[in-house]
Amino acid sequence: MRYAYYPGCSLEGSARDYSTSVAAISQPLGLQLEELEDWNCCGASSAHALDERVGISLPARNLALAESTGLDLVTPCAACYNRLASAHHRLERKPELRGEVAAELGLPYQGSVRPRALIEVVMSDVGSERLRELVSRPLGGLRPAAYYGCLLVRPAYLGLDDPERPRFLDDLLTALGAQPVEWSHGTECCGGHLGVSRPEVATRLVGNILAAAEEAGAEALVTACPMCQANLELRQAEAGRRRGRAHNLPVYYFTDLIGLALGLSPETLGLPKHLWPGWELLKTKGIWAGGGGP
Amino acid sequence: MEPLVLSGRQAQREAFLTEVNRLAETEVRLCYQCGKCSAGCPVSPEMDRPPHQLMRLLQLGLEAEALAADSLWLCTSCHTCSSRCPRNVRVDVVLEVLRHLAAPTREGSSKIVAFHRSFLESVGRRGRLDEVDLTIRLKRRTREYFKDAGVGLELFRKGRLSLGHRSIRGVAAVRYLLRPKGGD
């Protein structure tokens, strides 16, 4: 199954481990991800925060570039998905804007490319049945907390599932043999860009999320957004200091757990680059045999 | 808040609400101040004007107060507010519209605006974000040179800092999209 692939800027930098993880699982899942030629930044939070037109035209350039491929445009980043889908949706609803945007881009814009989130591609095009077949090392006994964050489920007209009680990540984890916990903070905001612009606010939000995961008996968090993963990792130490007790919760990408369940090594998945790779946890659960590691 | 004479400048105040309604494609007058938006907003504890208060300011047509609110910038665009509004008011889009109206005059008056401007400047350099370049620009603007140095070091140790990528071929096209739009 072929897709045009939009990694997003963070996968070239702070989320390089996610990039490694995605690359490692794409072949076993039968996903041929062809990086979009000359893609540009989707604008993330900043473009649409300051200017309506820039917030649409930056992601629209990628949609326009992808048209010649005839493929869906798939991204592993929840924020990039939201921006690509927002631009696609707006230009679909406002055909009078299309001509203006095309003129700004210097590219034709038909609106023919469907932006998709990687996790949705895995659940829809690969499916949980096929995932179960492919699993060679079930994650039995692992109790992760499925952390959806905001932008995969809201706003509802762009979201992949119910905004209050989504299930797709829990279903994926169950298909891998894990036992995702029921918990309160699955769709609570991690702070997004505040992790850089006002980190003390993000620390408070991250602290709440981690504490809620612990209260539900979770041993790790699983996410599909590099911004969330960064906030949950980078603010975790400070959140622990504020409450007087460290959290020590690994924050995995969903692709990490798919890879582990498919029998891939943590190194192949980029796990050593996590701040909390969770080696002890993986060893205890029989998911990693030890040696090699950190 | 200073006492206001609400009987004055009625037409002007209504015109502002009408304009916000038009830009946001919603009807702010539907808001009956139930507070669910503010209750769900992750950052309402830090906000000077949580979302339901912004809706009330708009209903009263208090343009200056609404546009001066710091809460516009604390908003993370999590969309919880609009997903819970029982009257389907697009609270998230209203805040976005207010940001667009307020942005031109918020020159460096907020760390968050400084962040957004630094981000887009960095994108304009090579067509994609360079996180190290963003950090340098942000620190220059905020003059908080040592903040988060520990975090930066951790990322560096783990090989998670982007360093020195080339520009995309279409960087000129991206710069055109990011051009300042003064007299548009």
- Asked if B173's CB is within 8 angstroms of A197's CB, the reply is no
Confidence of residue A19 (pLDDT cuts 50, 70, 90): very high
* Residue (of B15, B95, B18) closest to B55 by Cα position: B95
CB-nearest partner of A234 from B100, B120, B151: B151
Q: Each residue of A29-87: pLDDT tens digit?
A: 999 999 999 999 999 999 999 999 999 999 999 999 999 999 999 999 999 999 999 99
More confident residue, B110 or A98: A98
Query: Which residues from A are below 8 Å from B131, CB to CB?
Result: 9-10, 13-14
Kindly give, in sequence order, each residue whose CB lies less than 8 Å from that of residue A5, ignoring residues fewer than 6 positions away. Answer: A33, A34, A35, A36, A73, A74, A75
Between the two ends of chain B, the Cα-to-Cα distance in Å is 35
Q: Does A41 touch chain B (CB under 8 A)?
A: yes
Q: Report the alpha-carbon distance of residue B108 to residue A16 in Å, rounded.
A: 31
Query: Best of B25, B129, B179 to disrupt the A interface by mutation (most A CBs within 10 Å)?
Result: B129
pLDDT value of residue B117: 95
| Beta-sheet strand order (sheet of A144-146) | A144-146, A220-223, A251-253
> Which of A82-86, A179-183, A196-200, B79-83 has the weakest average pLDDT?
A196-200
pLDDT value of residue A9: 96
Q: How close does chain A come to B74, measured CA to CA in Å? A: 8
Category of B15 on φ-ψ map: left (φ > 0), alpha (ψ -120 to 50) or beta: alpha
Neighbours of A102 (CB within 10 A): 17
pLDDT value of residue A40: 98
Helices B51-59 and B91-102 cross at an angle (nearest 10°) of: 70
- Asked if B127's CB is within 8 angstroms of A154's CB, the reply is no
Is residue B104 classed as helix, strand or coil in its secondary structure?
Answer: helix
| Beta-sheet strand order (sheet of A115-117) | A32-35, A2-5, A73-75, A115-117
- Asked if A12's CB is within 8 angstroms of B162's CB, the reply is yes
Beta-carbon pairs below 8 A across chains A and B: 168
Cβ within 8 Å of B, A 206-245:
234
Confidence of residue A291 (pLDDT cuts 50, 70, 90): low
- Cβ atoms of B67 and B98 closer than 8 Å: yes
Residue A117's φ and ψ, nearest 5 degrees, are -85, 140
pLDDT value of residue B147: 78
Q: How close does chain A come to B7, measured CA to CA in Å? A: 33
Query: Which residues from B are below 8 Å from A273, CB to CB?
Result: 158-160
Q: Report the alpha-carbon distance of residue B119 to residue B141 in Å, rounded.
A: 12
Residue A113, pLDDT above cutoff 80? yes
DSSP A3: E
DSSP A35: E
- Cβ atoms of A197 and A165 closer than 8 Å: no
Query: Which residues from A are below 8 Å from B128, CB to CB?
Result: 9, 12, 39-41
DSSP A123: I
Residue A74's φ and ψ, nearest 5 degrees, are -105, 135
State the complex-level ipTM: 0.95
DSSP codes, B58-69: HHTT-HHHHHH-
Mean pLDDT of chain A: 96
Q: How close does chain A come to B94, measured CA to CA in Å? A: 12
pLDDT value of residue B150: 82
> Which of A16-20, A93-97, B159-163 has the weakest average pLDDT?
B159-163
Q: Report the alpha-carbon distance of residue B124 to residue A139 in Å, rounded.
A: 44
Cα B3 to chain centroid distance, Å, stands at 27
Q: How close does chain B come to A294, measured CA to CA in Å? A: 11
- Cβ atoms of B65 and B57 closer than 8 Å: yes
Residue A260, pLDDT above cutoff 50? yes
Distances (CA, A) of A37 to A68, A167, A238, B106, B125: 11, 34, 39, 36, 18
Q: Does A12 touch chain B (CB under 8 A)?
A: yes
Q: Report the alpha-carbon distance of residue A246 to residue A14 in Å, rounded.
A: 23
* Residue (of B5, B49, B58, B51) closest to B29 by Cα position: B58
Which residue of chain A has the CA closest to B155?
A14
Q: Report the alpha-carbon distance of residue A48 to residue B76 in Å, rounded.
A: 11
DSSP A272: G
Q: Report the alpha-carbon distance of residue B129 to residue A76 in Å, rounded.
A: 16
The one-digit pLDDT tens for each residue of chain B (184 residues) are 678 777 778 888 899 999 999 999 999 999 999 999 999 999 999 999 999 999 999 999 999 999 999 999 999 999 999 999 999 999 999 999 999 999 988 766 689 999 999 999 999 999 999 999 999 999 888 888 777 778 888 898 898 987 778 899 999 999 999 998 764 3
pLDDT value of residue B184: 38
Query: Which residues from A are below 8 Å from B83, CB to CB?
Result: 154-156, 163-164
Task: Rounding to the nearest 10 degrees, give the CA dihedral for residues A252, A256, A261, A263.
Answer: -140
Query: Which residues from A are below 8 Å from B154, CB to CB?
Result: 234, 275
Q: Does A45 touch chain B (CB under 8 A)?
A: yes
Residue B11's φ and ψ, nearest 5 degrees, are -60, -45
Q: Report the alpha-carbon distance of residue A40 to residue B84 in Å, rounded.
A: 34
pLDDT value of residue B109: 60
Residue A240's φ and ψ, nearest 5 degrees, are -65, -40
Residue type for A279, please? Answer: W
Neighbours of A289 (CB within 10 A): 10
Confidence of residue A254 (pLDDT cuts 50, 70, 90): very high
Q: Mean pLDDT, to the nearest integer, of A136-158?
A: 96
